[in-house]
Structure 1
Amino acid sequence: MARRIGAKREHSSSPVSRAALLLCNLVLIVGMIVAAVIYSRGITQQRYNIKKDAFCTAVESMKQVSENYFITEKGYVNNWSHYISTQHMTEDEALQFIGTLNTQQDRVAHIVDMDDFSARTSLACGNGDWIHCYEQWAESDTPADAALLQKMREIFRADQDDMRVLGKYRVGETQQTVVSVGARVTLRQADGSDKDYLLLRLIPVEYLQKSWVFPTEYPTAQIGLITRDGEYAIQSGAMRSCSFLDFIRDYNFADDYSKSDEIAARLANTDSGLMEYKDSKGQDCYFYYSSFGEDADIDILGFVPVADIEVETIDWTIIRLICGTLLLLGFIDGMHILSINRQLHHTAELAEKANAAKTQFLSSMSHDIRTPMNAVIGMTEIAKQHLNEPAYVKDCLDKVSLAGNHLLTLINDILDISKIESGRMTLDPVPFSLRESVDEMVAIVRQRAAENQLGFAVQIHDVTQDIIVADPLRLRQILLNLLGNAVKYTEPGGHVRFDVSEKAVPGRTDRTRLQFIIADDGIGMSEEFQKTMYTSFSRATDSRINKIQGSGLGLAIARQMTELMGGEIQCESALGRGTTFRVVFELPTASALPMQPAPRTEADGTPGELAGMRVLAAEDNDLNWEIIHTMLEEYGIVSDRAENGQICLDILHDAAAPHYDIVLMDVQMPVMDGREATRRLRADPDPALRDLPIAAMTADAFAEDVAACREAGMDAHIAKPVDIKQVLRTLKLARDGTLHEQKKS
């Protein structure tokens, strides 16, 4: 009996011992990991900062060499110009003087007539001493040549102390690529009068580039020269586009011009700085710029990929610490740690699989947007080919509008994918025409089917209830996902069938049963994949579809939306024999709704009532301004434009300006953004401006963006793309003086 009691006590104490042992292990592991991470990060960051600072220092040293070089060359030009002008030399005398004085034959001088850009050189060539490159720039209509001419004018007008550089360009007489420094020179004319010319001293680019040598730890770093307004003076090999600002915008934020304006302001107002952007290869890079001086118009620009700065740190203290901890843990609990490791290994495998699935989703997000985008592009191209057929063009534009609206919906769904995964999606059932909804879906899918050389058959039969009550957006989302898959996974020459039918619900006249069949004779699905095909991010492994982009969300969304709408979805498929999806819904008909007044049409009042209103639109984008101006003009509404928030304030404070009923305020604008302009108006001492209705009209459409606009003092929020009906409703509220009350509600 005693032995049994003792054994019982030993057995009962073992869980406590294991728990204490586990707790001890966890404390040791966490402590060691935290110490190792903090120490390693500190050392790595310190070495990283040192190497980054060393890169900036290297650029500064190369700037100093280049600056001394330019100062010397500019000194030659200034001395020549001063002597020639004070001696009242003619053009021939000046060229002879420079040719005699200039011992460096590769330092050619040009005298340019700024009236017609004719020029003569101090180095005789095949055509005498006349050169024509500047005249050719004047005759050209390219932005690059126009920029070079503008820079020549700036040098011509500048003081002699200003350091302005013209470059880079190729000179025919020497076939060299050069940059130039210059000064204004006064020459005596044949009639004894004086005339100002531009005297340029040409500097071969190769001489500057030979002096730019980075240490070996920066193998891909490069140097260039830019002007303070972001134009290239000497363009390095890695810097693309026509100018540095275009380069940064093209490869970082092509649709947001305000960002490049911020960079331009930074270059113009600061002497040096380090910026991080992507290059043409998509890799993160550092760009360090440094001005040549207060009177200079140029900055040196260093470029280095971030990968060249990153350091790999091996700290033996951390290694010894970790190894000692692992040995201690192995000595204490051996097999117990192995068990934990096996569990962690299993968890890591699951995490890697989940991460791989989501990575595949992010890399192929276009799966669900290609179909409507194809309709937009295709119908636009077709409309261009039928400009003389108004009815045909209108039909094309109607289809573009439908596809665009669906595309916007899909984008919103992708951005809100967490809501779909968590099951928090809600429905918005409304009465709508089944036939019209089917026609919209057919218009989107037919173009893609034709491009894939597929037969696309549509059949609607036994449908007696055209007006049904459901969420039309979710219904289209379900069916378009299935139709899109059918088109994508059917090879050229195949067929896709879309069948819509209705069956009466026994004993119910207020409900109907709709059946949608999407069938294809494509590649089909294996039985194994059909077991997991409704799982998020799931795609079949098949060499025939690997090149087809997809998110792996289509079937998951279709299944979830179908069940949310009270329907059911069935699938029949086999490899090589095609796939058939059958979706069935039991939905209310229009007869189930109480009698309601017919919706007011556009002619019932709202647009006509707004004729004569005056709107001030603060919009920096020319195309967006043209769109809203044209839309408002169709309804007799007068609109004026302010290119940014500051101009908007100036117009409103101008006593001669007309009275405006409302301001449509963009948010992202240069000089002053829309929220700051709104805050200043709300603090204006003039009550007419302080209480002026302001509506945000912006592409910033997230909930936090709307809240920020409200906080700044705006009364309403209109998201881009602009819905003219929403704009008219907002204007009507402003005209009636109820927009402030609408904001409070």
Structure 2
Amino acid sequence: MSLQVQYQVPQKEVIELIVIILLIAALGIVLSFLLYFKSKNQQIVEQIKLDNRAKLAVLSSINHEIRTPINAILGYSRMLKKALSQPQELDKIVDKMAWSANLLYSVAENTLNYSKAEAGQLKLNLHSVNLHEYVGNIQDYYRAFSATSGKRLHIVVNESLPQFIELDGTKLFQLMTNIINNAFKYSTGSEVHCYMDLHLKANAKDHRPMLRVLIRDFGDGMSKEALRALVDPFMHAANSPIAATSGMGLGLYTCNRLLEQIGGRFRLRSQKGKGTTVLLHFPCQLSAAKERLTLQYDQQKVLIIDDNLFNLEICRAMLEHYHFQTFSTDNTEQALKMLVNHLPQIVIVDYRLQEMNGLQLVRQMQQVLQNLVSDSPIEHHCRFFLLSANDCDDIPELASFPEVHFMQKPFSAEVFLSKLAVKE
């Protein structure tokens, strides 16, 4: 006799078991998501903290660097008043004030280009540069510093370099002065040497020439920790002397990133006790014209529009030095009247005006001139220059004005003349 027992699980219990399994699985999934989001959120918080520390480091660096030239300018201004009765001292004080003002400009350029490098928005603004004048300006830039510090800058330009070359003079000036400033500031040597020549790659895919700039000091050299500034300008140990010398990291880092993004090269070699050598490869183009077009500046009328009276005064003084006839106003309505009354050959307009932006004013002026030409047998040609503290890429509507020459502040007579000398 056999006993058989049969048991059938009730459907209700099966459903309950399946529901329990699904709930456990769902709970596991939810917990996994919570852990993932917690980890992700922690990463975001850490990144925000790192970004905030970097921003604070940038601001601290700017604050440290900007106070020295500001204090110098204020101090030299007071000295200048006292020295009015001593003409032999005036030149020295003015040179030192100019040096301090240039340091302020360097800080502004470093800050702007650092931001653009981080955003990947650095571009070149090429214009014709007279290398002999350019090198002379750099030497003048360091003359006051050399007189104060006892350190000297020697620049040698290879004879193979043409007199005129197409490059972004503003960015090259920033690069060179950053490196030379570091050499003067941190090197124990008394001299800094600079050598410039043209580098052509014969068999390279990219046939663009490079302006090669080698800068060498003869000090103690840089430590390994200081060299890290090329890739991370703010990671310095708290007890490091580098941490107390703000500005060096930001300058080197910006130089490296700037050249990376514009297709150049940055090489640095430093040995303890043997000094530091920096090699820059800066993109350029050979100018088709062998010499600059000669202009009769004393026959050129220039209308300047800027809502800042100091800018107007400085711009007028610089152009009158070259015997331009200048007219200026800080009012757009008055500018349109002066355009009709004086018929200038050149108009320089600031981008940021109170009533409208500079390009809107240019459009109105072009329309006024077009109406004048259509109602008169006299043909008049006017060239427009737009002046802005921003890069040309920061002004999207500028692409609709190919006839307008762009210039970045501060106003440079050399850049203005180089653009003016180009035949249209």
Q: 1:217 aligns to what?
A: none
Q: 2:62 aligns to what?
A: 365
Cα distance change on mapping 1:480 and 1:377 into 2, 3 Å: farther
| Paired residues of 2:180 and 2:215 also in contact (CA < 8 A) | no
Q: 1:582 aligns to what?
A: 276
Q: What is the Cα deviation at residue 480 of structure 1? A: 1.4
Counterpart among 201, 215, 218 of residue 517 in structure 1: 218
Cα distance change on mapping 1:616 and 1:688 into 2, 3 Å: farther
**Structure 1 segment 454-469 matched on structure 2, within 5 A:** 458=151, 466-468=156-158
SS in 2 for 1:497: coil
Cα distance change on mapping 1:712 and 1:431 into 2, 3 Å: closer
Q: What is the Cα deviation at residue 377 of structure 1? A: 5.0
Counterpart among 555, 568, 574 of residue 268 in structure 2: 568
Distance in 1 between residues matched to 2:314 and 2:291, nearest whole Å: 27
Cα distance change on mapping 1:417 and 1:699 into 2, 3 Å: same
Q: What is the Cα deviation at residue 415 of structure 1? A: 1.1
**Structure 1 segment 256-655 matched on structure 2, within 5 A:** 330-332=27-29, 334=31, 338=35, 341-342=38-39, 345-346=42-43, 348-369=45-66, 380-388=77-85, 390=87, 392-398=89-95, 400-401=97-98, 404-405=101-102, 407-418=104-115, 420-421=117-118, 443=143, 458=151, 466-468=156-158, 473-484=174-185, 486=186, 496-500=188-192, 515-519=216-220, 529=225, 532-542=228-238, 550=247, 552-557=249-254, 565=265, 567-570=267-270, 572=272, 581-583=275-277, 585=279, 605-606=294-295, 609-653=296-340
Q: What is the Cα deviation at residue 550 of structure 1? A: 4.5
| Paired residues of 2:347 and 2:383 also in contact (CA < 8 A) | yes
Residue type of the partner of 1:362? L
Cα distance change on mapping 1:432 and 1:372 into 2, 3 Å: farther
Q: What is the Cα deviation at residue 640 of structure 1? A: 2.8
SS in 2 for 1:650: helix
| Paired residues of 1:373 and 1:407 also in contact (CA < 8 A) | yes
Q: 2:15 aligns to what?
A: none
SS in 2 for 1:698: strand
Distance in 1 between residues matched to 2:297 and 2:235, nearest whole Å: 53
SS in 1 for 2:236: coil
Is there any run of 5+ residues in structure 2 with no aligned partner, and where?
Answer: 1-23, 162-166, 196-211
Q: What is the Cα deviation at residue 379 of structure 1? A: 5.1
SS in 2 for 1:466: strand
**Structure 1 segment 5-20 matched on structure 2, within 5 A:** none
Distance in 1 between residues matched to 2:328 and 2:130, nearest whole Å: 38
| Paired residues of 1:361 and 1:537 also in contact (CA < 8 A) | no
| Paired residues of 2:302 and 2:327 also in contact (CA < 8 A) | yes
Counterpart among 383, 405, 415 of residue 716 in structure 1: 405
Structure 1 vs Structure 2: percent identity of aligned residues?
Answer: 18
Distance in 2 between residues matched to 1:434 and 1:661, nearest whole Å: 27
Cα distance change on mapping 1:644 and 1:367 into 2, 3 Å: same
Higher radius of gyration, 1 or 2: 1
Q: What is the Cα deviation at residue 334 of structure 1? A: 4.0
Cα distance change on mapping 1:718 and 1:671 into 2, 3 Å: same
Q: 1:179 aligns to what?
A: none
Counterpart among 343, 362, 371 of residue 678 in structure 1: 362
Is there any run of 5+ residues in structure 1 with no aligned partner, and where?
Answer: 1-326, 451-455, 488-495, 504-510, 573-578, 588-593
SS in 2 for 1:364: helix
| Paired residues of 1:566 and 1:586 also in contact (CA < 8 A) | yes
- In the superposition, the TM-score normalised over structure 2's length comes to 0.61
The structure with more helix, counted as a fraction of residues: 2
Paired residues, number: 358
| Paired residues of 2:57 and 2:234 also in contact (CA < 8 A) | no
SS in 1 for 2:176: helix
CA deviation profile, 1:536-582 (whole Å, cap 9, x unmatched): 2424343797776558423434666899656432254xxxxxx9852
Q: What is the Cα deviation at residue 329 of structure 1? A: 6.0
1:699 is the counterpart of 2:391: no
1:663 is the counterpart of 2:347: yes
**Structure 1 segment 121-200 matched on structure 2, within 5 A:** none
Structure scoring higher RCO (CA < 8 A, sep ≥ 6) equals: 2
| Paired residues of 1:666 and 1:674 also in contact (CA < 8 A) | yes
- In the superposition, the TM-score normalised over structure 1's length comes to 0.38
Q: CA RMSD in A?
A: 5.2
